[in-house]
């Protein structure tokens, strides 16, 4: 059975290059791996891409890989996804697990289906997913042009044209279900809850940035 964890503000910031000393963040990442009693914890350099990286026993020794989704069949290897408002998705199956960073761009570029396809190639079956804390549809307002562009292609992400707010959780939940994945949405909004870091809240308040992390491991 796979282990799943979502951190909060109380765990500290796990993101690099957002104002905190790199050494402090790396120490925190190492401490997290030790607390979970896993051999390694692999993070991603996330760029809102559609790149899925397969982590084997060789690449598991690398603390960071270029991707917005990671998959592994290796026991004792943890996969981490950093988020400040985007949707962290953790998926387990019979043979492998995955962590996905799903923002607006990743959602529209099919990061979910590409991750599921990668897991199926590794003989994964009976998929279950958890969608962690992320910005909700009441809080994710975008430009009118961006709203129309996304809503036209992904109607489940649409709310009302007058407010042009996007519902990433709804669309991603549909994508998971459509791919044969049993999905649980924790329904926690990062902007509304002070227990979690939020990029938008930091921009509005001027408070330091931070990133929580979702972790899954076999």
Q: Binning pLDDT at 50, 70 and 90, where does residue 73 land?
A: very high
Could you count the other beta carbons within 10 Å of the beta carbon of residue 63?
Answer: 14
Q: How far is CA 176 from the centre of its chain?
A: 14
Mean pLDDT across 31-50: 95
Residue spans per domain, the chain: 3-135+181-217
Contact 130, 184 (CB under 8 A): yes
The predicted pLDDT at position 22 comes to 95
What is 3-135+181-217's CATH number? 3.60.140.10
Q: Is a pLDDT exceeding 80 seen at residue 67?
A: yes
The predicted pLDDT at position 75 comes to 95
Beta-carbon contacts of 153 under 8 Å, excluding residues fewer than 6 positions away, are 108
């Amino acid at each position: 059975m796979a282990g799943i964890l979502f951190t909060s503000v109380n765990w500290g910031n796990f993101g690099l290059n957002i104002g905190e000393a790199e050494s402090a963040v790396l120490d925190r990442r190492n401490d997290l791996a030790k607390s979970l009693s896993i051999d390694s914890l692999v993070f991603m350099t996330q760029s809102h891409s559609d790149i899925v990286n397969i982590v084997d026993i060789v690449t598991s020794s690398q603390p960071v890989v270029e991707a917005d989704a990671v998959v592994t069949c290796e026991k004792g290897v943890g996969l981490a996804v950093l988020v400040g408002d985007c949707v962290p998705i953790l998926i387990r199956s019979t043979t492998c697990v995955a962590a996905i960073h799903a923002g607006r761009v990743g959602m529209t570029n099919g990061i979910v289906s590409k991750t599921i396809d990668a897991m199926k190639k590794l003989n994964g079956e009976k998929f279950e997913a958890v969608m962690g804390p992320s910005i909700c549809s009441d809080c994710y307002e975008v430009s009118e042009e961006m709203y129309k562009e996304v809503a036209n292609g992904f109607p489940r992400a649409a709310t009302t044209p007058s407010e042009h707010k996007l519902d990433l959780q709804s669309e991603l939940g549909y994508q998971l279900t459509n791919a044969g994945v049993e999905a649980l949405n924790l329904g926690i909004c990062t902007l509304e809850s002070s227990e979690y870091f939020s990029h938008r809240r930091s921009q509005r308040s001027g408070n330091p940035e931070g990133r929580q992390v979702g972790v899954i491991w076999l």
